Amino acid sequence: MPAMNFVDQLLRAERAHHSLLCVGLDPEPSRFPGEWKGDPSRIYDFCAAIVDATRDLVIAYKPQIAYFAAHSAEPQLERLMAYIRAVAPEVPVILDAKRGDIGSTAEQYAKEAFVRYGADAVTLSPFMGFDSVEPYLRYPDKGAILLCRTSNAGGSDLQNQRLADVDGQPRVYEHLARLAQTHWNTNGQLGLVVGATFPDEIARVRDLAPTVPLLIPGVGAQGGDAKATVKAGYRAQGGRITGLVVVNSSRAILYASDGDDFAQAARRAAQTARDELNAARA
């Protein structure tokens, strides 16, 4: 029996947990509770407690590798990835690495994400073109999620510029959305990152890439609106999801409390976020 691919994993988790919520694991030791505060050796303990509290509420987890690497905590990330696979095997894990390089270097980054860490998908910067993405697609059961229309203010510097030599002069992010739906997505492994702070752009990306999963950060602490996000990107027909959104929230859940009840508070915040997203699609 062939391995379940990344999109199938997302759909399975959505069905199991009735959720579009992804919890971002961005551990900042300076914000840890109690005696853990300021102690990077507790990164695993903190994240594992969040996983324990939320694992039945999410469609995915998204650890951001920089928060681990900055504290030489890559071994803790390896341990955390293994823990998630053990206690929540139905929940896919997206390694937020935003890698972007070509040739043999991309091959090594792919091995890092999928072999060393065992991620189910990885975020990538597609600026260097398809040959910077292709090495990740050699892992047929894995996903590659391409930065498309990001929520940071500087994203417009490049993403919103028009391509004069392409038919219709699309904006860069529109051209990428088309590629992700068509020529680049030969095995159905690609997704796109679109920020929740740009609901009109989410809708435009969905029009151009009707079946590609959208990873949408920015709901919660960054101010993105859950209802507008789901309306813009989520699509279903006849009881079947045709355009999936994976809506990420990190700080609003991780740091819902700075006390000993942080895990319980994280669960409450995740429950509220999940319910808001479900109400928006209902």
User: Could you give the residue numbers annotated as active site?
Assistant: 98
At which residue do the structure tokens 């681990």 appear?
A: 68
Q: Which amino acid is at 109?
A: Y
- Give the three-class secondary structure for 125: coil
Token pair recorded at residue 265: 């508070």
Rounded-to-integer distance, Cα 196 and Cα 247, Å: 8
Long-range pairs of 49-52 with CB within 8 A, sequence gap ≥ 24: 49/262, 49/263, 50/23, 50/25, 50/253, 50/254, 50/263, 50/266, 51/25, 51/80, 51/83, 51/84, 51/87, 51/88, 52/87, 52/263
- Give the three-class secondary structure for 114: helix
Rounded-to-integer distance, Cα 47 and Cα 140, Å: 28
* Cα→Cα distances 81→47, 60, 68, 114, 137, Å: 10, 12, 12, 11, 21
Around Cβ 210, how many Cβ atoms within 10 Å? 12
Rounded-to-integer distance, Cα 265 and Cα 258, Å: 9
Kind and range of the H or E run holding 21: strand 21-25
Chain centroid to CA 210: 18
Token pair recorded at residue 156: 């417009």
Rounded-to-integer distance, Cα 99 and Cα 7, Å: 20
